[in-house]
Amino acid sequence: MNSISHTRSRAVVASGLLVSVACVVALFVLKRGSEAPAPELPRGRPDAVRTAAAAPAPHASTSASGRTAGEEPGAAEESGASAEEGPLAEAERELASQVDRSLDGELYVNELLDQVLRYAELPISERVDFDYEEHDEIPYRLLGTPDGTDAHFLVGMQPFERDGEEWRYVQLEIQLGSGEFEYERGAMREGPRVHLSLDYNADGPGSLSLMTERYVAPHESRQEGIDAYSGVFTSGARFSVNLASPSDARAETYGLVDGNYTLAGEEFPGARPLYGDLDVDVERVRALHARLLELLEYAKSGRSD
């Protein structure tokens, strides 16, 4: 009898303990359910964790493409592309187009001047570029040109006389796609090139000469089975004007005739520049002249900007 009572007492005590534990668990679950879960901080360096914890919530969601919600498709891509291209990308495309069009006898002088002026806004090297061997002038490299483009500011070493006056001259040369060859108009050619020469005296600019060129490369053409030593190949166009009488400007195409280049003034049987814009804007030339004189002062002083 006593053992039965003792057993019942232990059962009652055990039941009471189970009920107490159950109540405690229930209260703990209810308490956790009423609280918001704590945010999980990103793993990483301590400063990264602090930054992530302190950063405010974004105002707009961003898609996987990098566009924010509501942004027009293509807007981010276009702005990114223009940023990567650089400020002279448009000028380079326009110059290349102008040179290629000159092969068909089409010449737009004022548009060429606009693009050349954009290159002239670049700073020049502090030292002479001794690797440049094309001409007899003193060459300074233009800094900041796009990849594959060589541009130089050239200073004439000696003055010359014309009509009893002493003149000096400066030049700009821009070579696109330097060292590359491609098939264009029946032959392998170098990239587009523009050469500008401007003479001046104390009264201002005197005459302007412009030349566009896609040089025909005979050796590279022969490697492709093309004989550039026979037939006619237009290489580009020449334009010259005395600013005292701009209506008397001269324009002509030139190129290879049976392997020989035609000289200025010689009759060329290829394309002729009979249309386009050949009425030079004198104010454009004056603006270019002013900038070239600035570059000349920088070259004399050893400054590059």
pLDDT at 113 over 80: yes
Query: Could you give the CA distance from residue 15 to residue 11 in angstroms, rounded to a whole number?
Result: 6
Total count of residues recorded for the chain: 305
Task: Give the global pTM.
Answer: 0.70
What domain count does the chain have?
A: 1
Q: How far is CA 142 from the centre of its chain?
A: 14
- Name the amino acid, one letter, at 257: V
- Residue 18 within a domain: no
Does 219 fall in a domain? yes
pLDDT over 80 at 259, yes or no: yes
254 inside domain: yes
Strands 250-257 and 150-155: unpaired
| pLDDT tens string 70-103 | 333 333 333 333 335 677 888 999 999 999 999 9
Q: State the residue range of the domain holding 186.
A: 89-301
Helix ranges, the chain (H): 2-34, 46-54, 75-85, 89-102, 109-120, 218-223, 282-301
State both tokens at 170. 């400066």
17 within a domain of the structure (yes/no)? no
Of the chain, the percentage scoring pLDDT greater than 90 comes to 55
Q: Is residue 250 part of a domain?
A: yes
Q: For residue 168, is it within any domain?
A: yes
Evaluate whether residue 239 is within a structural domain: yes
Residue 81 lies in a domain: no
The DSSP secondary-structure symbol of 142 reads B
Q: Which two tokens stand for residue 295?
A: 């570059």
Taking 90 as the threshold, does the pLDDT of residue 200 lie above it? yes
158 token code pair: 């000696």
